[in-house]
Amino acid sequence: MTGPANSKPGDAKPGDAKPGEAAQGVGADAAAVAGRERLGEQVVRTGAFGTDTTGDTSGYGGLKVRAQPPPATERPYGSYFDEVADALGGALEAAGLSFGDAVERVVAATGELTFYVRRERLVEVARRLRDDPALAFELCLGVSGTHYPSEVGSELHAVYHLLSISRNRRLRLEVTAPDADPHVPSLVDVYPTNDWHERETWDFFGLIFDGHPALTRIEMPDDWKGHPQRKDYPLGGIPVEYRGATIPPPDERRSYA
């Protein structure tokens, strides 16, 4: 017998889930898991403005802002981005590496393509981006630094902007290094114009570019202590006189927190 009399194949039975309930349950469970994982992320700021005193009058003093997971884009990336990724993957495979060996993640956003490159593979990636005919990123427009103190283990970032003149394409490379080991390979041998840019990034952020021919300060005096564009650099300065009034340096001004 196949079932009660008058039943038809496909009829619902007592206790069966209604159509869509199973999928909704799976989705709800996934959302609950994602929510718990999000609540487990590091708290990087409290309150609406991050003040650590009683001066937050916004009504959001109990707000906890948590660290965002690193962004990553899944394929297809769009535009010419997939073609660039495929060409780089092929060039790396020809050298005995895989794309994943060299590139941690890819972000395609706001019309830009960014490869987050492992720092030990930076020179190899840059050389293939320059020399492979399918890529032909002949020009590096320079390197700049950023500092994210809340990103434990990858506080310092070096950002490279590449341009393919022959193909009219742009690409960003980004490399991270921890405060405890702020070393990144120099790209001067691949892109000689990075000479002064690497010096400036060292000067302001403290990133050490291993292999640079003369990594010395370029903006600050040679005997300057610290790196003034880091977010943990103390605010200081000298009083400024303006139309008879004296404006104190930042570290002596009145706080409204």
DSSP state, 151? Answer: S
pLDDT, residue 14, reads 47
Q: Look at strands 64-66 and 43-46 and give their pairing.
A: antiparallel
Instruction: Output the pLDDT for position 34.
Output: 79
Cα separation, 15 vs 4, in Å, equals 15
The pLDDT assigned to 165 comes to: 96
**Is residue 224 within 8 Å of residue 204, measured between CB atoms?**
no
Specify the pLDDT at position 27.
67
Quick one: pLDDT at residue 243?
84
pLDDT for 130 equals 98
Q: What is the sign of the dihedral through the CA atoms of 65, 67, 70 and 74? A: negative
pLDDT of residue 119: 96
Per-residue pLDDT of the chain (257 residues), as tens digits, is 444 455 554 454 544 545 554 555 566 788 888 788 878 887 877 777 666 665 666 777 778 888 778 889 999 999 999 999 999 999 999 999 999 999 999 999 999 999 999 999 999 999 999 999 999 999 999 999 999 998 889 999 999 999 999 999 999 999 999 999 999 999 999 999 999 999 999 999 999 999 999 999 999 999 999 999 999 887 777 777 888 888 877 777 766 55
pLDDT of residue 46: 78
CA–CA separation, 86 vs 122, rounded Å?
Answer: 18
pTM of the model: 0.74
Burial of 14 (C-beta count, 10 Å sphere; 0-12/13-18/19+): exposed
Could you say which DSSP state residue 48 is in?
A: T
Q: pLDDT value at position 54?
A: 59
Q: What is the pLDDT of residue 1?
A: 47
Residue among 120, 122, 118, 116 at smallest CA distance from 70: 116
Exposure on the CB side of residue 1, measured as CA atoms within 13 A:
5
- Nearest-5° Cα angle at 190, 184 to 191: 90
How many other C-beta atoms can be found within 10 angstroms of the C-beta atom of residue 75? Answer: 11
Buried b (16+ CB within 10 A) or exposed e, 202-238: bbbbbbbbeebeebeebeeeeeeeebbbbeeeeeeee
DSSP 251: G
